Chains A and B, each alone.
Chain A
Amino acid sequence: MTDAALPTAQPSLRKIVEARLKQRHAEEQRFRLYGRAAIITALLFLAVLVGRIAAQGYTTFVDYQLTLPVYVDPARVQADDLSGANYDLLIADQTLARLGEKDDELGTKSGKLMELISTDLGFQVLMKVKADPSLIGKTLQITGPVRADGQLYYKGEMKRATDETERKLDNEQLGWLDKLKARHLVKSGFNISFLTKSDSTEPEQAGVLGAIVGSAMMLLVTASLAIPVGVLAATYLEEFAPKGRWSDLIEVNINNLAAVPSIVYGLLGLAVFINWLGVPRSSPLVGGLVMALMALPTVIIATRSALKAVPPSIREAALGVGASRTQTVFHHVLPLAMPGVMTGAILSLAHALGETAPLLMIGMISFVPGVPQGFTGAATVLPVQVFIWENASERAFEERTAAAILVLLTFMIIMNMAAILLRRRFERRW
């Protein structure tokens, strides 16, 4: 380059750069805009989804409780046949009298009133009388929920304005509900029983406790199988196995397994665990086994990538002072990879918590009115509970479906938070 060339070259270079500069900045601006738009769209969808579920489900957490004095009439409750008495009718008749109504001979009105009072109240009377037969002839104070349709009326979801033939309760029943409320026999409060009771055919008595416990037991089985097996398998593959065609084949297959549709694991579980090994169907054990199979590839992949991220200098350091390969891995490499391993494990468990399809194949879709009796007892899990309620015909299950989803999402968020916190807490610098 000559001296003469310099002064002319510089302005022209500057011009060339400047000419394209505007375009380059515009490109960046456009890209930022796309990025923001994408994030806003994603957040919007998320907000709509969660918002809709929350709006639909929050009413579940309010419930209306009836408190009624019940006279245990010795004429209708015999001490030698406590279970034979119709306590629901007993309560309905007395409440009818309290409302100043006279029943006809067929008992039409008491029948209609029974549609408003949960069978839980009658059940409570039976339990109390069974525990202490001396209560016969005395008056008890019983508190229990208003039946689901009545609750819908109180919550404003069933309206008087709707044509009588179009709703489940007629005008007379709505009148009684109004009267009960006016006499302060009905109180609204936080519906704790949704979290302390299990599934029921009566929506007002149905809760998610059984499903939560079922999910927890299933995840326990999954975690205690998938994490040790997955971590050890990954450690062997990554640190010990000779690299070659076989290890490549295994790696490809593990990656493929992670992408197998979950329902296929359900079929496998049905064929192998239930039909062949005879594990009780619908149990947390078989659910956990299937989920462990499903989580295994994810745990292995997460562990391998965590192990890969450990700097080789640490391995050299340990080998250099004469640690054996096993000591190097278990004293240094694996502990350093642990945050990544745990994050992967928790995320795969969170995935297992939300999985439904394979559980339908192994019979977890049954109606289980209680907390599972051990690992081989019948159980249901949260996502399946959502599925069951979604299919239920009673209108009141609709809000419960949404509420169960909220509970499920809460657990998911807790698990994901735990994963993030674990990573933050144990991440070490080197």
Chain B
Amino acid sequence: MNQRQFPLPPRHRDDDGHAAPTMHIAVARTPDTAQGAGIKIRARDVNVFYGDKQALFDVGLDVPEKAVTALIGPSGCGKSTFLRSINRMNDTIPGCTVRGRIELDGEDVNDKSIDPVVLRARVGMVFQKPNPFPKTIFENVAYGPRIHGIATGKAELEAIVESSLKRAGLWNEVADRLHQPGTGLSGGQQQRLVIARAIAVSPEVILMDEPCSALDPIATAKIEELIDELRNQYCIVIVTHSMAQAARVSQKTAFFHLGKLVEAGSTGEIFTNPRDSRTQDYITGRFG
């Protein structure tokens, strides 16, 4: 009864355009940069268990710096589990154990010397459902810098809030109502507020767990545009159910199936010339 504290990572119904045929998917606008840039996150032999149930099997993946990496795959395939292992959000789930190595700049995030608080300041996260604090817009963004002691004065804090909101593309919409509740914004605005909150602590990596699944197409387009801009500064890992979205925003794509990493490579390659037949079947909408 009391194990409810944090639910298992959300599983989702496949209801957003998986059946779209491949030819309609526009492949990433920018050429694949994965090979050229350095590796930010290196995962090796990652196994994750929820109690007795194994959710991830020997996953190994390199996540490039300053690029968007999309994790795709059918429901329950372990994409979110893998994502949450990167900033150790899985620690908060009772009975969840992570084995293997996940390196952030060569340091194992599961090492005893790594404090999850510091880790999560370096690796920000955006969740599926917009979850602003029931506080003002300003307080939402200012919270992170404040608890980490990043801003020393009020003016500095205000500057951080402003630049974070600007980078999240929300400033023009909320500049005149910074002290109104963040929960009063629309879903898309809330999600951008949450992104601003994550940016405010200047993270190196931003994890996004299906950031658009609760949004309408227009809000989704705005978030995707934002992700495309943020890619220049951050390493972004996004879990998505929409193949079209993965194709639009990511430079690297990893396909998960039944807890295993089936295939990873540049987005262009995965969508046009998948090596594995399961990847082929999934992206053409034959299952999932």
Contact = CB atoms under 8 A, between A and B. Distances in A.
A308 B4 contact: yes
21 contacts: A238-B5, A243-B3, A243-B5, A247-B2, A312-B7, A313-B129, A314-B131, A314-B133, A315-B92, A316-B6, A316-B125, A317-B127, A317-B133, A317-B197, A321-B143, A321-B147, A322-B144, A322-B148, A323-B143, A332-B133, A428-B134
B124 A320 contact: yes
Nearest to A251: B2
A327 interface: yes
Given A314-B133, A321-B121, 19 more contacts: A243-B3, A311-B131, A313-B129, A316-B131, A317-B132, A318-B143, A319-B120, A320-B127, A320-B198, A321-B120, A321-B143, A321-B147, A321-B200, A322-B117, A322-B121, A323-B117, A331-B143, A336-B134, A429-B183
Nearest to A317: B131
B94 interface: yes
A428 B181 CA distance: 10
Contacts of B132: 317
Nearest to A430: B134
A429 B185 CA distance: 13
B118 interface: yes
Contacts of B4: 308, 312
Contacts of B94: 243
B87 interface: yes
Contacts of B201: 321-322
B183 to A, nearest CB: 6
B51 to A, nearest CB: 12
B194 interface: yes
B114 to A, nearest CB: 12
Q: Which residue, B92, B117, B129, B131, has most C-beta atoms of chain A within 10 A? A: B131
Contacts of A318: 133, 143
A322 B2 contact: no
B89 interface: yes
Contacts of B6: 312, 315-316
A200 interface: no
A323 B144 CA distance: 7
A319 B134 contact: no
A248 B131 CA distance: 31
B contacts with A: majority SS: helix
A314 B130 CA distance: 10
3 nearest CB pairs, A to B: A322-B121, A313-B131, A320-B125
B131 A327 contact: no
A336 B133 CA distance: 10
Interface string A319-339: 111111001000110001000
Contact of A316 (B118, B124, B127, B200): B127
Interface of A: 238-239, 243, 247-248, 251, 308, 311-324, 327, 331-332, 336, 428-430
A316 B124 CA distance: 11
A239 B5 CA distance: 8
A430 B197 contact: no
Given A243-B3, A313-B127, A319 B133 contact: no
Contacts of B2: 238, 243, 247-248, 251
Given A251-B2, A313-B129, A315-B92, A321 B134 contact: no
Interface in B105-146: 117-121, 124-127, 129, 131-134, 143-144
Q: Which residue, A308, A318, A322, has most C-beta atoms of chain B within 10 A? A: A322
B126 to A, nearest CB: 8
Contacts of A322: 117-121, 144, 147-148, 201
A327 B194 CA distance: 18
A341 B124 CA distance: 32
A172 B190 CA distance: 86
B4 to A, nearest CB: 7
Nearest to A237: B2
Contacts of B118: 322
Interface in B71-102: 87, 89, 92, 94
Nearest to B129: A313
Contacts of A319: 89, 92, 120
Contacts of B119: 322
Given A316-B89, A321-B197, A429 B120 contact: no
Q: Which residue, B92, B124, B126, has most C-beta atoms of chain A within 10 A? A: B92
A27 to B, nearest CB: 34
A253 to B, nearest CB: 14
A317 B143 CA distance: 11
Nearest to A324: B117
A429 B121 contact: no
Q: Which residue, A313, A324, A332, has most C-beta atoms of chain B within 10 A? A: A313
A331 B143 CA distance: 10
A429 B94 CA distance: 27
Interface in B1-38: 2-7
A335 to B, nearest CB: 9
B120 A320 contact: yes
A430 B194 CA distance: 14
Contacts of B148: 322
Nearest to A311: B131
Contacts of B183: 429-430
Contact of B198 (A243, A251, A321): A321
A159 B92 CA distance: 77
A324 B198 CA distance: 15
Given A243-B94, A317-B131, A312 B120 contact: no
A428 B134 CA distance: 7
A286 B149 CA distance: 46
B239 to A, nearest CB: 14
A324 B183 CA distance: 23
A337 to B, nearest CB: 12
Nearest to A336: B134
A331 B198 CA distance: 17
A314 B133 CA distance: 6
A312 B5 contact: yes
Contacts of B198: 320-321
A430 B132 CA distance: 8
Contact of B147 (A238, A327, A428): A327
Contacts of B87: 320
